Amino acid sequence: MEIYKITSPNEWEYFAKGNANILFKYTGHNDYLKEKLLRIRLLKEDDKYISTCELYDFIELKCKHLFPQIVDIQLVVLTTEFVNSLNHHGNKLMVKERYGLLLPNMLSGSYCNQFLSPNCQLYYGQSSVTQDTCHPPPDGKMIDSVIFEIKPKWLYDNSSSNYCRTCSLNQLRGYKRHFCPLDLLYQDTIDRGLEDLFSVIPENILVDIEEGNGIPLRRLFKILLNDSNNVFQKLKEHQRINNKNDLIKNLSSAEDVSQNLSLVMTLRDVGLFIRFEKYNRFNNFHNSHNNVRGLVDVDGYGKFVISFNIYDLDLKSKRKYRHWLDVEQKLQSIYNSSNENWRYCVRVQDNSGNLEA
């Protein structure tokens, strides 16, 4: 689709940005573009740049069959004039890029945002569908939708070190401890993982969600994690390294980076939108094939839909191998260190044949 033919740059406003991409939110009146985001590549050195077409093919051909819940994307044609006219807030864009990605705004609606930690945020409020069909109470506190945005990072069976790779990197970066993603993988550690995850949510927000609006958030999250086929387990499965040549410590050049390692490194950096919503039988989204499977009935509360979407599946350049090696070298002194402010990560005997963290 030649997007510049159906919309103008002034109908898009800055929404967010990452290390490689910038997002713009549609604000015009075209029904097709309503609740959509436009993703455009930020300026990169040519030898480290991966084009939007390459990214699109990677997601559609390599990732979609692994995770049907990947955020829908559409390849759109851009012009240099269109890109240059966007209000990019001083960020440098790859103006010679002829393509962008159109994707749904997963936070469309009326949400409050609570920052929990660098890899976790909480959103609570009303989805756009609910806003269209319901009238909020005078105090404006109606909540029927709660979303966790989480980057679970590296998921694996830690069998030898005090700290997993994710917790080690967070210590290296000077972050405060929040939760260890490995705790979300095992029946014996789910409770403590959820306790850590919820510990930084202000009590008044939890009370408003759980008691004021009747959403048993902690119970719903535990129901998700008790499903042996949940998204964290699937990510762990597809992050697995089975070939010693794919161990980061064994890389000596960009040519050593296999297609499988590129996929694994991408999956180690994806983001998740995990959504807990009150079930609405008139909501077509809730009744879709994928979401009906996430319908749960909680005693004393009623029915809820648990769903998730995966985003940020950016193919990693093979030339990042030097960065990966450098980070691993810096982490060596942390893996088996002892930090009084950081509980040791769970150790599990790995019988799967997985070669590394």
Q: Which domain does 75 fall in, by range?
A: 3-104
Q: How are beta strands 120-127 and 109-117 bridged, if at all?
A: antiparallel
The pLDDT value recorded for residue 238 is 96
Question: Are 63 and 134 members of one domain?
Answer: no
Same domain, 168 and 316: yes
What CATH number is given to the structural domain containing 22?
3.30.200.110
Is residue 65 domain-shared with residue 168, that is, in the same domain? no
Considering the domain architecture, whether residues 96 and 116 belong to the same structural domain is answered as: no
Query: Which amino acid is residue 118, in one-letter code?
Result: P
Residues 192 and 58 in one domain: no
Environment class of 325 (CB within 10 Å of its CB; exposed 0-12, middle 13-18, buried 19+): middle
Instruction: State residue 339's pLDDT score.
Output: 95
84 in a structural domain: yes
How do residues 98-138 score in pLDDT, each as one tens digit?
A: 999 999 999 988 999 999 999 999 999 998 755 444 444 43
Site of tokens 């890029």: 97
Rounded distance between C-alpha atoms, residue 210 and residue 192, angstroms: 19
pLDDT of residue 18: 85
Please state, in angstroms and rounded to a whole number, the distance separating the CA atoms of residues 148 and 126: 14
pLDDT at 139: 47
- Determine the Cα–Cα distance for residues 232 and 121; give it in Å rounded to an integer: 17
Q: Is 203 part of any domain?
A: yes
Q: Are residues 72 and 219 in the same domain?
A: no
Q: Are residues 181 and 309 in the same domain?
A: yes
Q: Which residues, in sequence order, are bridge partners of residue 75? A: 101
- Number of domains making up the chain: 2
Question: Final residue of a domain: which of 84, 104, 124?
Answer: 104
> pLDDT tens-digit profile of 263-308?
999 999 999 999 999 988 776 666 665 555 689 999 999 999 999 9
Residues 155 and 93 in one domain: no
Write down the pLDDT at residue 132.
46
CA distance 76 to 3: 6
Of 168, 105, 114, 205, whose CA–CA distance to 332 is shortest? 168
Residue carrying the six token digits 């940005």: 17
Q: Is there a single domain that holds both residue 50 and residue 179? A: no
Q: Give Dmax over CA atoms of the chain in angstroms.
A: 63
96 and 152, same domain (yes or no): no
Asked if residue 154 lies in contact with residue 180, where contact means CB atoms within 8 angstroms, the answer is no
pLDDT averaged per 10 residues in sequence order, the chain, 357 residues:
94 91 95 95 80 93 91 94 90 89 93 96 84 44 92 96 97 97 97 98 96 96 96 96 91 93 95 93 64 82 94 89 96 96 90 57
In a domain, 223, yes or no: yes
pTM higher than 0.85: yes
Does one domain contain both 21 and 40?
A: yes
Residue 137 is predicted with a pLDDT of 42
Regarding whether 233 and 88 lie in a shared domain, the answer is no
Give the Cβ contact number of residue 43 at 10 Å: 13
pLDDT for residue 133: 43
